[in-house]
Amino acid sequence: MKNNRTVVEDRQRKILDIVRDREEIRNEELADFLGVSLMTVRRDLGILEQQRLLRRSHGGAMSMEKAHTTRRISEDVQVCREKISAYAARFLSDGDRVFMNGSRLALNALEYVKDQKITVYTNNGWAIGKRFPKGVSINFTGGEMNGHIMVGEWVVRSLLSMEADKAFLGCAAVYQSGEFRYDIWTEIGINEIMVSRTNGPLYLLAEHTKLQKSPIEGRGGSGVIYDHPTTLITDSKADPEIVDHLRKNGIEVIMVEI
């Protein structure tokens, strides 16, 4: 029994050393390096997290230093998102019919609507059960749920019977080429239908962390360049060089002051 306990303690020390050195690592990498099962790695990480020696993340672990930094970044990003949503509400007018995709930023813009009648067509499951200001009418496309987003043929059929004055969309990333990335590939077709059925402006909402020069190697997702006059609403922490490229590629960029 003593030998088994020694083996476990030695392995956990190795895990802690690796995590501190790498700052962040996936469970599979730890299992391969140590020659143990994923179940063993997860059990060890649970123990080390209880001892406040590291922080478990989705599919892996990170050092406490990394976790503290990530938390600060997350809080900073949340402030940016709230400012962007509030600013986007300026472009909502009484009587508007608008499309909104699965974007939380777009949906949250409705919280800043006052004394306006807004009709929203959306496939955003986050809107289910959410309370909105009086005058905001939410109409769901229906469809199969993928995470919080409704997808599938039913969504397409519903959208083809709808028209809107404006569209407010989010995305997973914005590349300086003017391409917008989505992590659920079926979103692209749905969003393109929304845009094609929009008679007025298209607004894309994305905080500065989503603006990238080019796709990150090994990162999944699919991209689209919209054939529609597009306004990107981001925040003042966005990379000026990327913003300059976006403007040269025909996208109007509004940088909300943080």
Domain ranges of the chain: 2-62, 74-256
Instruction: Write the pLDDT tens digit of every residue in 174-197.
Output: 999 999 999 888 899 999 999 999
Q: Which whole-number Å values give the CA distances from 22 to 28, 42, 43, in the listed order?
A: 14, 17, 20
Strand 180-182 relative to strand 222-224, pairing: antiparallel
Which helix (DSSP H) or strand (DSSP E) does residue 208 occupy?
none
- What whole-number distance in Å separates Cα of residue 208 and Cα of residue 235? 6
pTM value? 0.73
Tokens of 141: 């496309």
DSSP secondary structure letter of residue 188: H
pLDDT at 71 over 70: no
pLDDT-derived band at 1 (thresholds 50, 70, 90) equals very low
Q: Which pLDDT value is given to residue 214?
A: 83
Instruction: Write the pLDDT tens digit of every residue in 80-97.
Output: 999 999 999 999 999 999
Q: Which pLDDT value is given to residue 220?
A: 55
Q: Which pLDDT value is given to residue 76?
A: 84
* Annotation: CATH topology of 2-62: Arc Repressor Mutant, subunit A (1.10.10)
- What whole-number distance in Å separates Cα of residue 207 and Cα of residue 220? 20
CATH topology agreement for domains 2-62 and 74-256:
no
**The tokens 């003593």 sit on which residue?**
2
* Annotation: CATH topology of 74-256: Rossmann fold (3.40.50)
DSSP secondary structure letter of residue 198: B
pLDDT at 217 over 60: no
First to last CA, the chain: 58
Tokens of 159: 């959208």
